[in-house]
Structure formats: structure tokens, C-alpha cells
Amino acid sequence: MASFRKLNSGWKATVSKRDPSGNLHQTSKSGFKTKNDARVYAAQIEAQNDSSLIAHHDVAFLQYYIDWYKTYKENRVAASNLKRYIYVSHIIEKNFGNLKLKSITRNQYQHFINGYGKNHAKDTVRKTNNIIRACVKAAMIDEIIRKDFTQGIELVFDEKRTLEVEYLSVAEINKLIKGIEDGLNAQYTSRYMILTAIYTGMRLGEIQALTWEDISFKQHTISINKSWDYHAGGGFKSVKTKSSYRIIRASSILLNLLKQLKINNSKMVFENKARQLPSSNAVNKTLHSIMDKCEIQKNNFHFHSLRHSHVAYLLFEGVSLYAISKRLGHSNMSITAEKYAYLIAEYKVRSDDKIEKITDNLGQQEDNKIIFFGEK
């Protein structure tokens, strides 16, 4: 839309246009001798805008994706996550070439998933699909496409590549704890970090970032409000998601062990006297060394597997999925259920036996009277 105004210096033309996101943009120019000159200028600007709009709506999938992740993700995600966005751009380039975003159909996308999933693990396929889905939804908001071609897609993956991380049994957890405690030394804080993971289920970055201010020895709590950017060489950063900000209860046994680290006189819990914080590689090396000495053999086991072991132990002890989800910092129980489905399935039989035993008591007579809920 164009408007015109007579000024002392001549006619002024103002061209207003809203972009696909609804933001208003204006272009103005003054000094035209006649109103007609101003109209000609306005018509030229509107023609340029229309041409730009047409080009915007006819954008290639790859071009839009790169612009999207650079605008909305590049400066907002961790370096490790950014690598995945860049990786997906190569996947799109390889499988869709210069196809226009608006020309891609759900059938084409399903064929892509079918081919891609044949030689990729379930988690890789899921993460790739989630990123592309987010991009496609953004394109719908930008009114470039009208339909979500990723909706209703069936994920395909190579089950042979989908490895389930092994976790420790209760006996193995106790054995590992004993092995750790036998060699505790405040100068070597990796062992204390491993114990923290076993007792709390915290992520490595969350543990590395702990300061003494985060621990309440009186309330027996640990406040998780930041993470350590070990992928980028160190430094504080935000926790993984909004729901990752949480306060969890901690065992008095763990807290008493952590008090031993006060001797290092550091603001950060796991810095040693030399102000060194164990790296991811150092902690994993220590973990594997202790496991070997304890004769605990597990495939594909690493520090994050301790989080899985923590979940397995809580499930074994009958802790509710809701409580576990909150403790882990998941935004909802469905994430916990999906991520630890193989653990939940193992304890389903145990729960089913308990349910059967409980329901066997329903309708039983007591003093020749059937007891119903709510009756006394």
C-alpha cells in the first residue's frame, strides 16, 4: 500500500508492506516534483516487493532450511547440537537437491525416510526427522507452504544399528560404589562425579557445573541451574531445556562424601586444588578403569549410562514414572517413557504381577459382606 504527502520540498511517497510473519516494513522517499512522479516510484517499489515475495515463496527446501537454522538456531543452541543442524543440511542437499519447498509431498518425504532409515539407528532417524519437522512448521508459519508434509510419517530405522545402552543391576551398582569408595581421594574428583551420577541421575554437564552454593546440606537438596560446556572446552551455559532447571533431593550418604571436597577450597564442587575440572574423557577413563577392577563388563557403557542405571534402580524400587521424569528434568512423562521404554518394558512384568495380586482382593468377602471402595 502506498501513501503520498505534499511537503515543502516536494511530494513524499511511502510504501508499506507486511512480510509473511506479519511485520510491517516501510520505504519512503521525498523530493518528487509532482504526485505522479511519486506514484511511479511507489509502483516500482511495490513491484520489487512482489518479485521478492514470489521468490520467497518459491524458495528451495535447502535454501529455506539453511536460512531457518541460521536465523533461529545458530546462536541459540549448544555447539554439539549445531553440528546436528549442519549435518541435516547435508542430508537435505543429498536427498532433495534443488527441489522447491512447496513442491515436496508427504509421499516423497516418506520415501526419503524409508531410504535414510535403512542404514541409520532409530535415535538418528528420530532426531533428523524432528529437526526437519520443526523447519517445515516454520515454513507454514511463514506461509510458504500450506500443508505439513512430515505429518503422519512412519519412521523407519535399522534395528541392528540401534544399540540399547546397558545399565547396571542393583548388585553391580553396589559393587561399583564400593570400588569407587575404596580409592576416594579429594585430589581426584572424577570418582566423586561418578558417585553423584549414580545417586542423582544428573547429566555430566550438570555435575561439572555444580558450585557449593547449589548444594543445601541442611535441606538435602541439589539445585540444577546451569551446565558446563565441555564440548566447547569449558565454561558455564544454560541447562539443556527449561524443564532441566530443577531442585532434587540428594542422599545424605552422597552429601557427606562430597563434603570431603571442601578441602580443595574451590567455588566449584569438582575442581581439585590445582583448579582443574575433570573432562568428559577423564571421567569416562576413570569409570572404565574402576569397572574393570570390579569385573563389571558392559557393552557400550559410558558416563551417561549411569543416568540409565539410576532410572533402572528407581523403577526397580517402585518409584513412579512421574517422579522419575521430574527428577531427570524432562518436560513431560512421555519423553521419559520413550527414552527408557526398554527399561519400563522389563519392569512391566513385575508390575503386572503386583496388579494381579492387588486385584485378586477385589470383591472378596469380609464378615460375609462384599467390601467396595468408599465403604466402611
Which comes out higher in pLDDT, residue 262 or 22? 262
Angle, CA of 233, 268 and 238, to the nearest 5°: 55
Concatenating the DSSP letter of every residue in 59-78 gives: -BHHHHHHHHHHHHTTTTS-
What string of DSSP letters covers 332-364?
Answer: SHHHHHHHTHHHHHHHHHHHHHHHHHHHTTTT-
| pLDDT cut 70: percent of the chain above it | 87
Least confident of 9-13, 53-57, 233-237: 53-57
C-alpha cell at 278: 575433570
- pLDDT for the residue 52: 47
pLDDT digits (tens, 9 = 90+) for 136-192: 999 999 889 999 999 999 999 988 876 566 789 889 999 999 999 999 999 999 999
Residue 53 has pLDDT above 60, yes or no: no
From the centroid of its chain, how far is CA 190? 25
Mean pLDDT within 116-140: 93
Q: pLDDT tens digits, residue range 258-317?
A: 999 999 999 999 999 989 999 999 999 999 999 999 999 998 899 999 999 999 899 888
Structure confidence at residue 49 as a pLDDT band (50, 70, 90): low
In 186-256, the DSSP E strands lie at 215-216, 221-224, 227-228, 236-237, 246-249
What residue ranges define each of the domains in the chain, with the CATH number in brackets? Answer: 2-57 (no CATH), 61-141 (1.10.150.130), 170-330 (1.10.443.10)
Give me the pLDDT at residue 375, please: 44
State the average pLDDT over residues 320-343: 85
Global pTM reads 0.65
CA atoms within 13 A on the CB side of 351: 13
pLDDT band at residue 372 using 50, 70 and 90 as cut-offs: very low
The mean pLDDT value of the chain amounts to 86
Highest mean pLDDT among 32-46, 220-234, 259-273: 259-273
